[in-house]
Amino acid sequence: MLAAIAVATLLFAVFGSLFMAWTIGAGSSGSTPFAPAVGANAISVMRAGFVVGLLGFAGAVLQGASVSETVGSGLITGVSLSPLAVIIGLFTAALLVAVGIFTGYPIATAFTVTGAVTGVGLALGGVPAWETYQRIVTLWLLIPFVGGGAAYTTARALTTHRIPTDLVVSVLGIITVFVVINMQFTMLGPPGESRSLSMVLQLLIDPRGGDFFLGKGTVSFLIAGVGGFTIRRTHTISAVDTERRFLLLLGCLVAFSAGATQVGLAVGPLLPLLGRWKIPITAVLVFGGIGLLAGSWTGAPRMIKALSQDYSALGPKRSIAALVPSFVIAQAAVFLGVPVSFNEIIVSAIIGSGYAAENAPVSLVKMRNTTLAWFLSLCLSGVCSYTAVTALRTFA
């Protein structure tokens, strides 16, 4: 009887993880990556929802391990989350995100999940992993300034007549290709490790693995330089087509990165529970990726359509300016294993890019309300999950 109850509780926790993955796919990871491209009329709403689902699934499977491990075991020390605590944490976070989806208001998923996992962990007697929180909070605080500042600077450079647009686009291409060539993939490394494309190429050239600047760095800069030169050459031939293709490419990269950063928020809490069965983390990531895929295909078009109206005023150039720093920040989060909110990344970049316009079409009231909603989602999810676990432990 007890074994049946334990299995049923575990299955309910798995269902909670799947529900969380669906809300993420329908919300932040499924809607924000292609909203600028839809607003700039580079792709239709339904096609964007279909593509972002596939790319989010790929990102979850190929790059989602680091963030998943942080969420699963890096936030609280001294205790192991019970199945009931995982259920409470996941459903608390998922319900808050679902409210945002159906009201058309973006909720910061990373804030709700981090708050919920922290709340249940504290209720069980755990201690916050302060070093991890310091790293998380530092990145969260830097995102609006770094992302918004980079987007503003890029948008100004793309729209001014004093700097050739093809030169700016080529620099952005170099940055994008450099990050892509250094993205870490689990499938490229030995078991338990990840490797980048530049590392694989370096090992093919020099199996002993030389110095960074003589090996991996050289490969990265050479390939990035070729990519930047190619983009500049095509831009001189057809600026409109090149900017449109570049915008779509950035949307794809951001969608892939969204899956990599967001899947851990859904499946991370499950990792301690599934550890006793020694289930490979890749299988768990595939499970979470399926949830993201389902959410993107069923719920994302609604949010994409709503968000694209905010992005439509940006145009292709300012949309590119918003997506480049978003992609770089997302990959930095994957590299550090830090759970981040994709809504925070995108909104910060959009605000910075929007301010580059002469009439600065950015609502200060909307900025204030969005920031307040992020902070309240962190606090509310933590308090609700902590209260629920404490009440069950007291009266059970």
Question: pLDDT (tens digit, 9 = 90+) per residue, 283-315?
Answer: 889 988 998 888 888 877 776 766 666 555 667
For residue 345, the model assigns a pLDDT of 87
3-state secondary structure of 127: strand
What secondary structure letter does DSSP report for 75?
Answer: S
Tokens 């909603």, residue located? 373
User: What's the Cα-to-Cα distance from 246 to each of 42, 156, 170, 249, 305, rounded to whole Å?
Assistant: 10, 18, 11, 5, 21
φ and ψ of 122, to 5 deg: -65, -40
Contacts for 346 with CB less than 8 Å, ≥ 6 apart: 32, 33, 35, 254, 322, 326
pLDDT tens, position by position, for the chain (396 residues)? 556 766 777 788 888 888 888 888 877 666 677 777 777 677 777 788 888 888 989 998 888 888 888 888 888 888 888 888 888 888 888 888 777 766 656 677 888 899 999 999 999 888 888 989 999 999 999 998 999 999 999 999 988 888 888 899 999 999 999 999 999 887 777 776 778 888 888 777 766 655 545 556 778 888 899 999 999 999 888 888 898 889 889 989 988 998 888 888 888 888 877 766 777 888 889 988 998 888 888 877 776 766 666 555 667 888 889 899 999 999 999 988 898 888 788 888 888 887 776 665 555 666 677 778 778 888 889 999 999 899 888 876
CA triple 351-356-361, angle to 5 deg:
60
For residue 331, the model assigns a pLDDT of 93
282-296 burial code (b ≥16 CB/10 A, e <16): eebbbbbbbbbbbbb
Q: How many helices (H) and strands (E) in the chain?
A: 18, 4
Question: pLDDT (tens digit, 9 = 90+) per residue, 95-142?
Answer: 887 777 666 566 778 888 999 999 999 998 888 889 899 999 999 999
Tally the residues of the chain.
Answer: 396
Contacts for 19 with CB less than 8 Å, ≥ 6 apart: 90, 91, 94, 291
For residue 104, the model assigns a pLDDT of 57
Could you give the residue ranges of the DSSP H alpha helices within 27-82? 28-31, 35-39, 45-63, 65-73
For residue 43, the model assigns a pLDDT of 78
For residue 138, the model assigns a pLDDT of 92
Tell me whether residue 273 is exposed, middle or buried, using C-beta atoms within 10 angstroms of its C-beta: 0 to 12, 13 to 18, 19 or more. Answer: buried
